[in-house]
Amino acid sequence: MKEFENSINARAIIEVLGTPKEYIEKTLRLIVNGLENKKDLKVLKKELFEAVKKENYFTTFTELEISFKDIETLMNFCFDFMPSTIEILEPPNISISARTLTNFLNDLLAKLHKVDMAVKELSAEKKVLEENIMRLLRNNVIITLREAKKPLDIEVLSKRVGVPKEQLEPLLKKWIDEKFIKKQDSKYLL
pLDDT, residue 2, reads: 57
pLDDT for 4 equals 73
Class of domain 8-90: alpha beta
| pLDDT for residue 119 | 95
pLDDT at 95: 87
| Reduced 3-state DSSP string for 111-177 | HHHHHHHHHHHHHHHHHHHHHHHHHHHHHHHHHHHHHHCCCEEHHHHHHHHCCCHHHHHHHHHHHHH
pLDDT of residue 44: 94
What are the residue ranges spanned by the domains of the chain? 8-90, 124-189
Q: Is domain 124-189 given the CATH code 1.10.10.10 in the classification?
A: yes
Chunked mean pLDDT (size 10), the chain, 190 residues: 77 94 93 93 94 92 95 90 93 89 90 92 96 94 92 94 93 92 91
